[in-house]
Amino acid sequence: MIYFDHSATTKILPEALEAYVKTSQQIIGNPSSLHDLGNQASLLLEKARAQIAEIMEVATSEIYFTSGGTEGNNWILKGTAFEKRKFAQRIIISAIEHPAVYETAKQLAKIGFKVDFVPVDQRGFVKIDEFKHLLGNDVILVSIMGVNNEIGSIQPIKEIAKILENYPTIHFHVDAVQAIGKIAKAAYLPKRVDFATFSAHKIHGPRGVGFIYLKKGKRLAPLLAGGGQENNQRSGTENVPGIVAMAKALRLSMENHQQKIRHVLSLRNALGKFLKSYKKVSLFTDITNDFAPHILTFGLKGMRGEVMVHAFAEKQIYLSTTSACSSRKKMPANTLKAMDIPNKIAKTAVRISLDESNTVTEIEQFMKVFAQLYEKFENVF
């Protein structure tokens, strides 16, 4: 079995799973309880928070736990909107955001907020001049993803951050779910960023847990009301085993970070060069440093993406039709649409997403299977 769908989810590390099981079995108290068992849970929770903060090089008080990327993105967009509504009501996002941002912004538009979408160029990068043109004193939030989940384009976060230095009252949010562990932290979390979203299951942690970075001094209206957990910002009993396992997975994912990136990059480049040699293949991801090392999206002209996914699955090679969130709906990639790629071609898109656990042998097996499928489908297109 060859797994090439790490952008959808990753296999939990044995060490993280062990931490999850051990915490579940031994730490039975609610961290909000006043007794000793509650204190044990609370201490472990805060230790995990401190570990994550240290790795991210931020203050411990700037880390808040969530159920994952979707909740984090919803909270930051809606929390900003409700907190700053009395001052202004305009939000700027890119045209290629993950549905957790894109659909949340559309929800806010339905209740009176003005949402502007920054267009992207034909390679999938935010147009900076267009972004500058949209800025104004009535903007309360800018939300731009660090790495695009469908083609892997690394967005110009540093450049946007520099521009926003002239607009200190605008909240700046980065969806960093696909960035953490894949590119340098400085590329998605410069000082001007106020909020960032992260998800454990993208870095070999458990599903259903994540965290956000919330810069000290910035305010968000709570999305969940209740018992006042997470400093009255995010109510609900914390998932202590999941959080402990996430901290462990994050630490391990950052070990030998540069070496892992170089390995994944070499695999992606080998795949890209191979696919480029086929006349009927469209490469939507450039094999350059402007794109994250772990994502390679391509299409076979005349062949719908889901057909390719099923054909590879029969050979026990698992990839996806771009975003996992839209693949079952058989929708063309929102990113490719924003790049003005014709719908007929966009529907062919297939995403390979790699990880440091993938091997050269797996790449060679993929090439062998692809060559066979290309020959099989040649008469169709």
- 171-175 vs 195-199, strand pairing mode: parallel
Q: How far apart are CA 370 and CA 275, in angstroms?
A: 9
In this structure, are residues 195 and 173 in contact, taking their beta carbons and an 8 Å threshold? yes
Q: Which two tokens stand for residue 125?
A: 């990068």
Tell me the three state secondary structure of residue 149. Answer: coil
- For residue 113, the SS3 value is coil
Single-letter amino acid code for the residue at 66: T
Residue-wise DSSP of 223-255:
SS-SS-HHHHTS-S---HHHHHHHHHHHHHHTT
CA–CA gap between residue 169 and residue 228 (Å, rounded): 27
CA angle 45, 178, 80 (to 5 degrees): 70
Which residues are CB-contacts of 350 (< 8 A; sequence separation ≥ 6)? Answer: 297, 298, 299, 300, 305, 308, 309, 319, 320, 321, 322
3-class secondary structure, 167: coil
DSSP structure class, residue 177: T
Q: Which of 325, 331, 367, 369 is catalytic?
A: 325
User: What is the rounded distance in angstroms from the CA atom of residue 46 to the CA atom of residue 231?
Assistant: 12
Here the tokens at position 111 are 């209740």
Which of 71, 139, 140, 82 is closest to 111 using CA atoms? Answer: 82
* Count of other CB atoms within 10 angstroms of residue 18: 13
Q: Does residue 276 carry a catalytic annotation?
A: no
Take residue 238 and report the two structure tokens written for it.
Answer: 């914390």
C-alpha–C-alpha distance, residues 199 and 67, integer Å: 8
Catalytic center residues: 325
